[in-house]
A = this chain, B = another copy of it.
């Protein structure tokens, strides 16, 4: 197997970086305060249960702390759930195209993967809920990447009720959407929801994510995770970021407004731009091939994500940056297409 390859991460700052769905704004100022306060305890092991974060999340999200499991990024949460539920020779299912990591997680477990093609309008075909031998876990990125589209929460609930196994709704981008599924684990045994602080809270560098699921599932997952999977600085920082809901509301509104501008501008340039509920848009062009556009932008120090999905096609996934970054992108694109 080849492993999962993340987007390019140049370590110098000379790029306009619109390729890995990072938030262009610095995080809440409370993060730096929380990190400073946590430093003196760094010689001691962190709380293995990340209690400080779970208590804050419970309060902010209206949940009980024992419904929450924390991870070293939501990738860690996805790994934990997969290792706990899926054995060698068993299978996972997910729509296609979607987050490429799901396939890698299955391969690492020696499990099969069923990739069910989205319909052309990014809705799920009926057979996505079909019975199938050995399927132990279904992933649903919602909003999806690369499309930015969503399956409505009511439809997710109906899907879960028909599925033969648990459904993990990966809500990495949900804070940018109109709705979300965070309430569903309490309505349906089979639904789990994962979140990350990487995108909406501008903490990609921190690695912090969490899962919302029934306590009896959480107990099983705790056995699989590294004892101290979250470090002391990130627990404190993540709790502080989540507690600052005013910061989230302000930056969410800003990015949604920029997303609307980006969408209009790309369509004006002739792109077919999918209406997005995330902090990126998915773009194809009826006449201009995608790869040369990506390459030319990169030469001009603007990184967007070129994605080529066999059986589906290629396109450009463009992260919603600041207004200035988007202006710069559009300006360059105008000379390319």
Contact = CB atoms under 8 A, between A and B. Distances in A.
A134 to B, nearest CB: 15
A108 B82 CA distance: 12
A251 B303 CA distance: 45
Contacts of A26: 40, 42-43
Contacts of A88: 87-88, 110
A29 B319 CA distance: 37
Given A232-B205, A233-B234, A227 B42 contact: no
Interface string A288-309: 0000000000000000000000
Interface residues of A, number: 63
10 contacts: A9-B48, A22-B43, A22-B45, A44-B205, A75-B227, A83-B108, A87-B88, A87-B110, A88-B88, A231-B231
Contact of A45 (B46, B51, B204, B224): B204
A43 B27 contact: yes
Interface stretch (A31-39, A146-154, A161-169): A31-39
Given A43-B26, A47-B11, A110-B88, A207 B231 contact: yes
A1 B87 CA distance: 14
This chain's copy number in the assembly:
2
Given A39-B32, A51-B11, A228 B6 contact: yes
A25 B45 contact: no
A66 interface: no
A233 B206 contact: yes
Given A1-B223, A39-B35, A205-B38, A45 B20 contact: yes
Contact of A205 (B51, B79, B87, B233): B233
A202 interface: yes
Contacts of A198: 45
Contacts of A22: 43-45
A143 interface: no
A108 B39 contact: no
